């Protein structure tokens, strides 16, 4: 499993060490990757060039690189816990 966002590797590390560990009590159980220019987000149609952020979503991709299922959340759902 890989977590990808437009944030830099330094932001990922800070978020993991400060926010996630505080809430969960442990590191994320998967790898983090940075998509700073949004190239991967553009391929999967989740990158918003106007805001420079990617929509939150989950993609299950099989070993043959075929998307088996996906879920993309609208900005209010993906960014607001309530």
**Count of structural domains, the chain:** 1
Residue 33 main-chain phi, psi, to 5 deg: -130, 145
In this structure, what CATH number is given to the domain that contains residue 34? 3.40.30.10
The more confident residue out of 12 and 47 is: 47
Quote the tokens at residue 6.
């437009």
pLDDT in the model for residue 51: 84
pLDDT tens, residue by residue, 26-79: 666 777 788 888 888 898 888 888 888 888 888 888 999 899 999 888 776 555
pLDDT in the model for residue 62: 92
pTM recorded for the entire structure: 0.62
Confidence of residue 81 (pLDDT cuts 50, 70, 90): low
To 5 degrees, how large is the angle CA 75–CA 78–CA 27?
Answer: 145
Q: Which domain covers residue 12, as residue numbers?
A: 2-79
């Amino acid at each position: 499993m890989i977590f990808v966002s437009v944030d830099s590797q330094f932001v990922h590390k800070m978020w993991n060490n400060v926010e996630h560990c505080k809430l969960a009590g442990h590191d994320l159980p998967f790898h983090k990757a940075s998509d700073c220019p949004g190239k991967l987000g553009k391929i999967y149609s989740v990158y918003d060039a106007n805001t420079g952020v990617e929509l939150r979503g989950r993609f299950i991709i099989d070993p043959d690189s075929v998307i088996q299922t996906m879920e993309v959340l609208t900005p209010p759902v993906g960014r607001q816990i309530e």
